[in-house]
């Protein structure tokens, strides 16, 4: 089928485009800089302009039957007032504009719109969290709630809508692992803060696998946690990463230092969530990397 996709130029996007093409789908990207986005993608992919702030013409969807929406301002930056606005608006307004175009186009039957495990809040300790758990109240939780609410407007139009709540995606090319690797490779890595906070990690291949699963399984709708079945504490993660790299990982990063450098954004790394992929497992998704040591070995080989 023809799939229109935002965020194709990002960290997850190119890997998903590759898998979509391998599975025989046609891909049409919606990007702020179409030429730049297409440069990093295989031939045959087409594109239209979308900046998550300007109303989108229904024609820009190119007659797509499905839409995958991954665009959003990066969260891993200091949360100044302007950054907060970009993080919120790029998701909430962007999703609203996309849904308006889908409604007018009338061709879209399946909608997969990214969300994040940040919806559960960053102060949940060791509480096991499933898709039925209550949401949190902090900044990211509020952004995710508003972002999901806009996406679910498509469901009211009869469009099957899935909101994958993505965890900490692991791959050396981007995200958290790319940030952590230099210190751990130098042997100066270690737990962050107390190390007791949970990290609900997921290998990038399983992230892409679950996004495809959400797209292709007609029985799925609503929230689906995109995390591995065995979340670990930050201290255990640090030990596993050190072991995978054969380096010591015994130098903790104090909470105060993280707060000084990252400001309020430090709550993302000093807090955490213990998220379980209940919907995915009940629907029969087979994880390629269910356990951390195997995932890290494969990623760092
Ligand atoms: N990576 C993770 O660990 C993780 C975890 C939880 C949730 N997620 C969510 O999953 C989605 C995809 O993740 P990702 O890591 O692939 O994201 P990413 O690489 O940071 O960004 C994806 C794309 O968003 C678009 N974008 C960036 N800033 C924007 C802005 N201010 N306004 C409009 N568009 C903007 C860009 O596309 P163009 O320049 O082509 O328009 C970019 O390529 C994101 O919504 C992210 O929040 C990711």
Q: What's the pLDDT score for residue 271?
A: 93
Q: Are strands 232-233 and 198-199 parallel, antiparallel or unpaired?
A: antiparallel
259 lines ligand 1 (CB under 6 A): no
Q: What is the model's pLDDT at position 93?
A: 98
Q: What is the distance in A from the centroid of ligand 1 to the CA of 75? A: 9
pLDDT of res. 3: 98
| pLDDT score of 69 | 98
Atom of ligand 1 nearest to the CA of 168: 3
Q: Cβ-count burial of 298 within 10 angstroms (0-12 exposed, 13-18 middle, 19+ buried)?
A: middle
**CA 178 to each of CA 60, 66, 80, 282: distance values in angstroms, whole numbers, following the listed order:** 34, 31, 23, 31
Q: What is the DSSP annotation of 145-193?
A: HHHHHHHHHHHHTT-EEEEEEE-EEEBTTBHHHHHHHHHHHTT----BT
The pLDDT of residue 158? 96
What's the pLDDT score for residue 293? 97
Determine whether the shortest distance from the Cβ of 38 to ligand 1 is under 6 A.
Answer: no
Distance of alpha carbon 223 from alpha carbon 108, whole angstroms: 19
Strands (DSSP E) found in 216-295:
222-226, 232-233, 272-275
Output the pLDDT for position 65: 98
If one looks up domain 2-167+202-226 in CATH, what number appears?
3.40.50.720
Tell me the three state secondary structure of residue 4: strand
Q: Quick one: pLDDT at residue 242?
A: 97
At residue 29, the pLDDT reads: 98
Distance in Å, CA 117 to ligand 1 centroid: 15
Residue 88 is predicted with a pLDDT of 98
For 45-54, b/e burial (b = at least 16 CB within 10 A) is: bebbebebee
Cα-to-centroid distance, 215 and ligand 1 (Å): 18
What integer pLDDT is reported at residue 45 of this predicted model? Answer: 97
The list of the chain residues with pLDDT below 70 reads none
Calculate how far, in angstroms, residue 207's C-alpha sits from the geometric centre of ligand 1: 14
Residue 29 CA, closest ligand 1 atom number = 40
Give residue 279's pLDDT: 98
- The label of the residue with tokens 């995710």 reads 144
Question: Quick one: which atom of ligand 1 is closest to the CA of 52?
Answer: 33
Distance CA 163, CA 113 (A): 5
Question: Would you state the pLDDT for residue 31?
Answer: 98
Q: How far is the CA of 289 from the centre of ligand 1 (A)?
A: 23
Burial class (CB in 10 A: 0-12, 13-18, 19+), 117: buried
d(CA 294, CA 69): 29
Per-domain residue ranges of the chain = 2-167+202-226
Q: What is the pLDDT of residue 80?
A: 96
Q: How far, in Å, CA of 48 to CA of 31, rounded?
A: 7
User: Which two structure tokens, joined as six digits, stand for 64?
Assistant: 């797509």
């Amino acid at each position: 089928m023809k799939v229109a996709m935002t965020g194709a130029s990002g960290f997850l996007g190119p890997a998903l485009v590759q898998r979509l093409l391998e599975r025989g789908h046609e891909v049409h990207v919606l990007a702020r800089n179409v030429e730049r986005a297409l440069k990093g993608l295989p031939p045959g992919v087409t594109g239209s302009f979308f900046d998550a702030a300007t109303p989108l013409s229904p024609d820009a969807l190119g007659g797509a039957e499905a839409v995958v929406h991954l665009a959003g301002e990066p969260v891993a930056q200091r949360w100044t007032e302007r950054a907060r606005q970009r993080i919120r608006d790029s998701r909430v307004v962007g999703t609203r504009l996309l849904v308006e175009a889908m409604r007018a186009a009338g061709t879209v039957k399946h909608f997969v719109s990214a969300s994040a495990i940040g919806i559960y809040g960053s102060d949940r300790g060791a509480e096991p969290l499933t898709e039925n758990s209550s949401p949190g109240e902090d900044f990211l939780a509020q952004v995710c709630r508003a972002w999901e609410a806009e996406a679910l407007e498509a469901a009211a139009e009869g469009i099957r809508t899935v909101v994958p709540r993505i965890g900490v995606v692991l791959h050396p090319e981007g995200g958290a692992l790319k940030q952590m690797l230099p210190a751990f490779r130098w042997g100066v890595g270690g737990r962050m803060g107390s190390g007791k906070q949970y990290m609900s990690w997921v290998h990038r291949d399983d992230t892409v696998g679950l996004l495809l699963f959400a797209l292709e399984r007609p029985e799925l709708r609503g929230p689906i946690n995109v995390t591995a079945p065995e979340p670990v504490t930050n201290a255990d993660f640090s030990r596993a990463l050190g072991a995978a790299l054969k380096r010591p990982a015994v130098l903790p990063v104090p909470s105060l230092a993280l707060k000084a450098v990252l400001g309020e954004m430090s709550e993302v790394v000093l807090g955490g969530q213990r998220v379980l992929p209940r919907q995915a497992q009940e629907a029969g998704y087979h994880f390629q990397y269910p356990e951390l040591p195997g995932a890290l070995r494969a990623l760092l080989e």
